[in-house]
Amino acid sequence: MIYPLDDAPLADNINRQDMTQASRSGAETAAPYYLPLADEVEVFQAAYASRLPVLLKGPTGCGKTRFVEHMSWLLKDARSTDDELDEPLLTVSCHEDLTATDMVGRYLLKGDETVWSDGPLTRAVRSGAICYLDEIVEARKDTTVLIHSLTDHRRILPIDKTGELLDAHPDFLLVISYNPGYQSVLKDLKPSTRQRFVSLEFDYPDVATEAQIVGHESGVDSATAERLAVIGERVRNLKQHGFEEGVSTRLLIYTGELIAAGISPRRAATASIISAISDDAGVQQAVADIVDVILP
């Protein structure tokens, strides 16, 4: 089957994004920085030893992606072969237009020819990489079929378009993430899917741990990092007052980065925390009040 040309850039974009991700995770000599919050490293290592698929649950920006990058680096010695992988980790950020075809692959027009191009999931299944499907429930429903056949004893990937039934490489591992708080009931992960995974729950860290992360990632001094972490904790407490998501560790790091670049702390917090987390004037005011108390 020949796909319309305007489909091609989409596949290409995904591939390029994955390659950036993969080369970043693969080429580094030191492990991507990750501060464990509990026993997640040990549990993931044990899951990998039996090639059990893993589900990471937790709010946005709390470290799930960084954790997978870290684990991919850590597990390179636990692989069954010594082959160096070009792409040890393939990350796909799922969205509502993402189809099974985007993950598996498609025929592309190259000059007069149509050539098959593996999608990121297929590349991982063939090579024995880790495939991380971020925010899986955002993807179209037809992707679920792929997940099911890859996560039970069959470990196969059916490629309808080429008629191939691909056996997963022994080192292949599927990792998916989802954010239970943010999903609507309609987009909830089905029990039949959920129960195929070892689940690891993530949440924002305590103040001391988050201060360490913010300091490391943004380069601000420890006193500023601590203040930002306290803002994080207090803003998250607002959730009890109807405010859906707290501020993520990622946004606290952004604030730190602006401060490290010379922006005044309050201005940095306005741009990266207050304006970023809500459009609601009431919520913004409540968050601004917290910032006012904590930042100089």
Query: Which residue reads 């930002």 in tokens?
Result: 228
Residue with Cβ nearer ligand ADP (54 or 168): 54
**Two tokens, residue 130:** 């880790």
Stretch that binds ligand ADP, among 21-29, 30-38, 154-162, 234-242 (CB under 6 A): 30-38
Task: Look at phi and psi of residue 128 and say left if phi exceeds 0, alpha if psi is from -120 to 50, else beta.
Answer: left
Candidate residues 101, 168, 250, 290; the one interacting with ligand ADP per rule CB under 6 A: 250
**Two tokens, residue 235:** 């803003």
User: What CA–CA distance (Å, rounded) separates 205 from 218?
Assistant: 17
For residues 178-207, which are near ligand ADP according to CB under 6 A? none
User: What CA–CA distance (Å, rounded) separates 55 from 42?
Assistant: 15
Candidate residues 147, 213, 283, 287; the one interacting with ligand ADP per rule CB under 6 A: 213
Residue with Cβ nearer ligand ADP (21 or 65): 65
What is the per-residue DSSP string for 23-63? HHHHH-SSPPP---SSSHHHHHHHHHHTT--EEEE--TTSS
Candidate residues 18, 87, 118, 217; the one interacting with ligand ADP per rule CB under 6 A: 217
Query: Does the protein bind ligand ADP through residue 256 (CB under 6 A)?
Result: no
- Binding-site size for ligand ADP (CB under 6 A) equals 17
Binding mask 61-80 vs ligand ADP (x if CB under 6 A, - otherwise)?
A: xxxxxx--------------
Candidate residues 34, 44, 48, 73; the one interacting with ligand ADP per rule CB under 6 A: 34
Q: How far is the CB of 73 from ligand ADP (least distance, A)?
A: 13
User: What CA–CA distance (Å, rounded) separates 122 from 130?
Assistant: 11
The dihedrals phi and psi of 114, each to the nearest 5 degrees, come to -110, 125
Residue with Cβ nearer ligand ADP (7 or 245): 245
Candidate residues 91, 122, 224, 249; the one interacting with ligand ADP per rule CB under 6 A: 249
> Positive or negative CA dihedral for 201, 206, 212, 214?
positive
Interface with ligand ADP by CB under 6 A: which residues? 33-35, 37, 58, 60-66, 213, 217, 249-250, 253
